[in-house]
Amino acid sequence: MPTMSELVTAHSSQSSADDLNWLHALLNDLQLLADLAFADIVLWSPSADGGFVAVAHARPSSAATLFYRDFVGQQIKPDWRRLVTDAFERGEILDSSAPDWFEETPTRVRAVPVFRRTSPSAAQQQVIGPIAVLTRHTNLSEARMPSRQELTFNDCANDLFRMIASGSFPQLTAPTGPRRGAPRASDGLIRLDVDGITIFASPNALSAFNRIGFSGELEGESLAQVVTDLLPQRFAVDETLPLVVTGKAPWRSEIEAKGVTVSLRTIPVFSEGLRVGAIVLCREVTELRHQEQELITKDATIREIHHRVKNNLQTVASLLRIQARRSNSDEARESLTQATRRVSAIAVVHDTLSHGLAQSVDFDEVFDRVLMLIAEVASSHGTRVHPMKRGAFGILPSDYATPLSLALTELVTNAVEHGLAEREGNVVITAHRSDEGLTVSVRDNGVGLPEGKVGSGLGTQIVRTLIEGELGGIIDWHTMSGRGTEVTIAVPFRFGNDRD
């Protein structure tokens, strides 16, 4: 299914980047509007032919949906077109004059023009639009006497609709992205007046505050005073908290007391440019925060393990290097030097993993560091090598990075030691990544393989074991007449997250 940006861009030539950003901000709260209104909410973008196309749809979690089939990307129904067109052209909120029937279900449709503001500053802002139309589709077949909570939720929805039609919602100073555990209407809702006094608190909101030590009724109380009394004396107060609990800023904050954490989100309510109150959403997120803390602790532990493994490998490499210097046999010295290089290549991967949270690495960064090890090999053989990397490896999981870096180290080292021994030349490493896997070629312009035969030494055995055994790939050696040797390896991706 195409994204909202793709739909808007495809059907309208008038929408600007600022319009799209505003619609994306509105999209983040489309579910909140559906839950508050107990209705399906559809966002319509004007199309070049004078009609409208559905670019987003939110179904209510607080009531049964009317639209079981997704019609995002479709043109507006003829039954709704006149109402939506009038709301767009007049820039006013309009309601259907008679029930609209959808699949034998009576509904009421409200069309809300979407305006945007150019700046959060009242002195500088301009109202642009309409840039789209939002429709609310209410199911009339389930009409009954609404509860006080339902009436309050609907009032909150109508306040937000009026703010959308005046360019006051979404609010430019609100957080730009959703935070894990962000409260929803069903989690708990508190309605404040302009002075920050609670005029309504849903049962779930009251329960959340009861868990952090409040015993009483929130209604009639100053939310700021309630929160102040609940906080421990030595509690480090988030600087955003006072503005959130007084309803003055569209921000998020958290309260922590008695081992319980409650997340708060405030939406100031404006009418004709003046703040008249606020909607405060709240949610008890203790378990979520505990899980996040556990993940942070585990990530730190894993990074520390990688750091220690890297240190241990560097120690081993240093010991091997010392042993090589003291060896009296050229063959033993060469073997220890090669072992040092292999251990150092593995250490590079662990060093990279120790700096990040994810168990994956930017292999281009790893390989650039591995290439630095080749300079040591070239200098010890009296060779001037010009290594060049083409293409990109991208992000790879650590279980790919370690064997691949070791195998490529062997291949490039082999090109330097044998193909370019005692001469100047080039080694070109080319990486090509696709959805199916990774293809890498190592090519030198040296003497080529003797009689086209693949070597049978330890380095070749290591490469075969790593590429064919551990990574399930294939490897091909071939000599290019008078142009050196090229080795190509192809490694398939085994898991979907290998493509990250």
Could you check whether the bond before residue 232 is cis, i.e. omega within 30 degrees of 0?
no
> Which of the residues in the chain have pLDDT under 50?
176-178, 496-500
370 residue type, one letter: V
- Residues 161, 78: Cα–Cα separation, whole Å: 23
Using only C-alpha atoms, the chain has a radius of gyration, in whole angstroms, of 32
Classify residue 190 as exposed, middle or buried by CB count within 10 Å of its CB (0-12, 13-18, 19+): buried
DSSP 451: G
How far is 428 from 423, CA to CA, in rounded Å? 16
Q: Do domains 185-284 and 385-500 have the same CATH topology?
A: no
Q: How far apart are CA 479 and CA 17, in angstroms?
A: 54
CATH annotation of 185-284:
3.30.450.20
Residue 5, SS3?
A: helix
**pLDDT computed for residue 206 by the predictor:** 94
Quote the tokens at residue 226: 């309630």
The CA distance from 354 to 331, in Å, is 35
Judge residue 109's burial from the number of C-beta atoms within 10 Å of its C-beta, 0-12 exposed, 13-18 middle, 19 or more buried: buried
CA 198 to chain centre: 36
Q: What's domain 4-166's architecture?
A: 2-Layer Sandwich (3.30)
* Domains of the chain, residue spans: 4-166, 185-284, 287-357, 385-500
* Contacts for 454-463: CB closer than 8 Å, 24+ residues apart: 455/414, 455/418, 458/338, 459/338, 459/410, 459/413, 459/414, 460/410, 460/414, 462/342, 462/406, 462/407, 462/410, 463/407, 463/410, 463/411
| Alpha carbon distance 21, 470 (integer Å) | 46
Tokens 């030097």 locate to 337
Cα separation, 369 vs 387, whole angstroms: 12
pLDDT at 49: 84
Q: What is residue 1's predicted lDDT score, i.e. its pLDDT?
A: 67
- 8 A C-beta contact, residue 392 and residue 364: yes
* Residue closest to 445 by CA, chosen among 358, 385, 381: 385
What is the architecture of the domain spanning 385-500? 2-Layer Sandwich (3.30)
Q: According to the model, what pLDDT value does residue 81 have? A: 92
The end-to-end CA distance of the chain, in Å, is: 21
